[in-house]
Amino acid sequence: MTIEINLELSDADLAHFKQLMQSAIEKNSGLSDQEILEKAQAVVSEMADSNQPEFVKSRVSSLADLIAAVQDEEWQMPEDEKKDIMTSLIYFSEPQDLVPDDIPVLGFLDDAIMIELVIQDMSLDLRSYRQFCSFRKTEEGRRGDAAKVDRESWLSGTRSEIRASMRKDRKSSGKRSFFRRVM
């Protein structure tokens, strides 16, 4: 038997999470990008390795994909996009969060909510990166060993197209970053 519980966050609730993010940014402003990525990856590993409810596990892969996007040299993420993702990941550098992680079932609830907010904020970046990975995998399969010969040329064109589409979508949606609206 399963049970579905829906959470609705009010504006006050969202403001609280924005404040948590702001606090994490202030406390961790001296961390290098590598330290932020390592700490975020540690959270992903901890959440994936623990016996967490599906509502937590379902969000972990998206957080892992954001980390991978920043680290993927072939994606060649522009600095402004990288900065946005790094800012979103900094919350996961904070060891003390709203709900202690060692509480069974609920320990990662606040992390799951923050991941959901980050995913919504970075949805276009995440979609674009996944599209790029899908293209790369398809081309590697299609080209076989020849994929290594002119790899950068066939990645470059598609990478540019995907990014242009992402920027167009971002501009047309008028969507402002969840976290930047408060900061």
CA–CA separation, 157 and 160 (whole Å)? 5
What per-residue confidence (pLDDT) applies to 73?
Answer: 93
Domain presence at residue 179: no
What per-residue confidence (pLDDT) applies to 104?
Answer: 66
What is the full DSSP assignment across 21-37? HHHHHHHTTT--HHHHH
Domain presence at residue 122: yes
Domain presence at residue 18: no
- What's the longest Cα–Cα distance across the chain? 55
Domain presence at residue 151: yes
Q: Which pTM value belongs to this model?
A: 0.79
- The amino acid occupying position 44 is V
Q: How confident is the model at residue 46 (pLDDT cuts 50, 70, 90)?
A: confident
Domain presence at residue 76: yes
Look up residue 64 and give its two tokens: 């892992």
Domain range enclosing 120: 30-173
CA–CA separation, 25 and 160 (whole Å)? 31
Q: Please write the tens of the pLDDT for every residue from 31-42.
A: 999 999 998 898
Q: How far is CA 28 from the centre of its chain?
A: 18
CA–CA separation, 62 and 53 (whole Å)? 16
Domain presence at residue 178: no
What per-residue confidence (pLDDT) applies to 138?
Answer: 92
Domain presence at residue 68: yes
Q: Give me the mean pLDDT over the 106-111 stretch.
A: 74
Mean of all residue pLDDT scores within the chain: 83
Domain presence at residue 102: yes
Q: Please write the tens of the pLDDT for every residue from 4-19.
A: 777 788 889 888 888 8
What per-residue confidence (pLDDT) applies to 180?
Answer: 54
Positive or negative, the CA dihedral 90, 91, 94, 95 is negative
**31 φ/ψ angles, rounded to the nearest 5 degrees:** -75, 145
- How many domains does the chain divide into? 1
